[in-house]
């Protein structure tokens, strides 16, 4: 075998290994999701079976039907939970993005005193685990009377997300050359117009990804929501999962079905926003 052929074989082997490893990694990442979907469709006996049953013997949508059949017939107020989740997540994401854009722009473009300390301070707030905050937050909210309200959770999630959105959006605004905003001002824009006409479109991928992250954090958050909500008027979907636990039993199938209902909107949103995440849009702006 000559050296060229040897190299060809080696390259082929390398590619095969590469693909196998990628497949394994993806399988590990996707398996829990798949397991949830499968578990929502199979009888409890199969869910609890040891060793696990990989291919379900029968598939039924009973859990989904039960979920929507109303209280007393094995159902939970899933529509209300969904509505609460949507209101809280969307509102807190919009606010976190607005604050994040203003803050990120300020950090990227302006010089002010204690800039790096303030930035570091924002980041440090993220090092505190949410669960550690739940008790103090509970006391404060109880005093303010905003427990079990949309407003209370929105406030908590905005506080949780703002440091993150500022950090992410700051990075994207830094990539937009300052010259562009100046050129826009010379071309007749006000600062405000220059921002919306030039800098915002160019930082859009960053703003979109910050938006997705903020939404997902709010959508999936459990620790704070479980403390700060009480009734169907404010409980979110993750808290709703607890409705499937009784004193001595856990309805795994129902819980998995609700989890699937939770995953679908998040997945849809990510697909929609994904096309905005085109990077490298600023190439060609400056120099050659």
Positions in the binding site for other proteins (CB under 8 A): 177, 179-180, 182-190, 193, 197-198, 201-202, 281-288
Of 193 and 245, nearer to other proteins (C-beta) is 193
> Residue 173 CB, nearest distance to other proteins (Å)?
15
> Nearest-5° angle of CA 280, CA 101, CA 286?
35
213 three-class SS = helix
> Residue 182 CB, nearest distance to other proteins (Å)?
5
250 three-class SS = strand
Of 249 and 283, nearer to other proteins (C-beta) is 283
DSSP string, 154-209: HHHHHHHHHHHHHHHHHHHHHHS-HHHHHHHHHTT--HHHHIIIIIHHHHHHHHHH
> Residue 184 CB, nearest distance to other proteins (Å)?
7
> Residue 282 CB, nearest distance to other proteins (Å)?
5
Q: Which of 230, 101, 98, 241 is nearest to 153 (CA)?
A: 230
R_g (Cα) of the chain, nearest Å: 24
Of 90 and 189, nearer to other proteins (C-beta) is 189
Of 153 and 198, nearer to other proteins (C-beta) is 198
> Residue 192 CB, nearest distance to other proteins (Å)?
11
Of 155 and 202, nearer to other proteins (C-beta) is 202
């Amino acid at each position: 075998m000559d050296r060229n052929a040897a190299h060809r074989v080696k390259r082929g082997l390398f590619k095969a290994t590469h693909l196998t490893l990628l497949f394994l990694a993806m399988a590990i990442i996707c398996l829990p999701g798949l397991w949830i979907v499968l578990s929502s469709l199979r009888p409890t006996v199969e869910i609890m079976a040891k060793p696990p049953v990989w291919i379900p013997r029968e598939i039924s949508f009973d859990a989904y039907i039960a979920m929507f059949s109303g209280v007393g017939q094995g159902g939970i107020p899933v529509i209300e939970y969904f509505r609460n989740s949507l209101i809280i997540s969307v509102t807190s994401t919009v606010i976190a993005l607005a604050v994040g854009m203003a803050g990120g722009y300020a950090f990227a473009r302006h010089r002010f005193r204690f800039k790096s300390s303030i930035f570091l301070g924002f980041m440090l707030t993220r090092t505190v685990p949410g669960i550690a905050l739940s008790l103090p937050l509970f006391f404060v909210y109880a005093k303010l009377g905003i427990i079990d309200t949309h407003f209370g959770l929105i406030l908590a999630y905005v506080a949780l997300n703002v440091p993150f959105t500022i950090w992410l959006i700051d990075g994207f605004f830094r990539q937009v050359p300052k010259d562009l905003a100046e050129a826009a001002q010379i071309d007749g824009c006000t600062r405000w117009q220059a921002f919306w006409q030039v800098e915002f479109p160019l930082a859009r991928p960053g703003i979109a990804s910050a938006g997705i992250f903020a939404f997902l954090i709010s959508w999936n958050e459990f620790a704070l929501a479980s403390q700060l909500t009480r009734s169907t008027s404010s409980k979110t979907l993750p808290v709703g999962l607890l409705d499937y636990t009784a004193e001595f039993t856990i309805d795994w199938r129902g819980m998995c079905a609700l989890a699937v209902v939770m995953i679908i909107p998040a997945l849809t949103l990510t697909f929609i926003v994904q096309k905005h995440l085109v990077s490298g849009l600023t190439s060609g702006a400056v120099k050659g």
